[in-house]
């Protein structure tokens, strides 16, 4: 009988320890997760691939806008301004910067 009670006590202790470690891990992760995501986001936005791809997309939008009819230009303008707004203006080429300034007027 004593052995069975000791076994149940050990089992209960293991379960409580397991639950405590899981709760602790959740607490630690919930504290550090936003910081980890912020660092990952910053690294992504500073990457060469992201910047090259964004410049290429903005150049493509500029070319579409220049080829468009006046009705199409009105429709493209909002989309183009939205895409430019999400990108750092300091990284724009001179052509894209003047294009963006002309759309903002």
Q: Is the pLDDT of residue 2 over 80?
A: no
Burial per residue of 82-102, b for 16 or more beta-carbon CB atoms within 10 angstroms, e otherwise: eebeebeeeebeeebeebbee
| Burial tier of 58 (Cβ tally within 10 Å: 0-12, 13-18, 19+) | buried
52 or 105: which carries more pLDDT confidence? Answer: 52
pLDDT digits (tens, 9 = 90+) for 3-49: 878 888 888 888 888 888 887 787 778 888 899 999 999 999 999 99
Q: Are 99 and 63 in contact (CB under 8 A)?
A: no
pTM: 0.68
Question: Using one digit for the tens of pLDDT, what is the confidence trace for 43-88?
Answer: 999 999 999 999 999 999 999 999 999 999 988 999 999 999 989 8
pLDDT score of 46: 92
Per domain, the residue ranges of the chain are 1-46, 48-104
State the chain's maximal CA–CA distance in angstroms.
90
From CA 97, how far away is CA 103, in angstroms rounded? 10
């Amino acid at each position: 009988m004593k052995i069975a009670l000791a076994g149940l006590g050990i089992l209960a202790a293991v379960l409580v320890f397991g639950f405590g470690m899981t709760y602790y891990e959740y607490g630690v992760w919930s504290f550090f997760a936003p910081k980890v995501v912020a660092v990952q986001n910053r690294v992504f936005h500073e990457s060469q691939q992201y910047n090259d791809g964004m410049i290429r997309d903005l150049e493509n939008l500029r070319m579409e806008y220049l080829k468009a009819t006046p009705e199409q230009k009105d429709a493209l303008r909002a989309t183009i301004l939205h895409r430019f707004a999400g990108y750092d203006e300091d990284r724009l080429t001179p052509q894209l910067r003047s294009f963006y300034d002309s759309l903002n007027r």
